[in-house]
């Protein structure tokens, strides 16, 4: 991973094989759904009319690529662990250059 000079942007080289996982409709819906406010996988699934199992799989892939993160973990009334996810990006820009595909993203300032 390479970091650009600006603290607001990061350049990340993404393996071409995982690009469809990021660019598909569900991935974009999830990223946009949690850009402003953190949500649980269940909330993300309901808000975007996505199957819950597919939502969990997509969240796992987005976590791995670093586009989203776990903002907090809490315990609900029934004693179950509840994970809240938040997008780390405000916007994505893809650039095809010699040597690879580059992704530039404007980070979403997460306040803790």
Q: What's the count of helices (H) and strands (E) in the chain, helices before strands?
A: 4, 5
Full-model pTM? 0.72
pLDDT band of residue 55 (cuts 50, 70, 90) is very high
pLDDT at 12 over 70: no
- Rounded CA-CA distance 87/85 in Å is 7
Sign of the Cα pseudo-torsion (54, 25, 89, 93, in order): positive
Per cent of the chain over pLDDT 90 is: 46
Domain regions of the chain by residue span: 9-106
Average pLDDT over residues 79-100: 84
Q: Which residues contact 74 (CB under 8 A, 6 or more apart)?
A: 81, 82, 84
Phi and psi for 69 in degrees, rounded to 5?
A: -145, 165
Class at the top of the CATH hierarchy for domain 9-106 = mainly alpha
């Amino acid at each position: 991973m390479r970091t650009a000079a600006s603290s607001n942007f990061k350049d990340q080289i993404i393996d071409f094989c995982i690009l469809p996982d990021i660019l598909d409709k569900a991935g974009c819906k999830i990223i946009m759904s949690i850009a402003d406010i953190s949500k649980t996988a269940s909330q993300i699934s309901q808000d975007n009319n996505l199957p819950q199992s597919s939502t969990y799989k997509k969240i796992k892939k987005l976590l791995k690529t670093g586009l989203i993160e776990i903002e907090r973990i809490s315990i609900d009334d029934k004693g179950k662990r509840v994970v809240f996810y938040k997008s780390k990006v405000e916007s994505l820009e893809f650039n095809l250059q010699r040597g690879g595909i580059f992704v530039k993203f404007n980070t979403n300032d997460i306040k803790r």
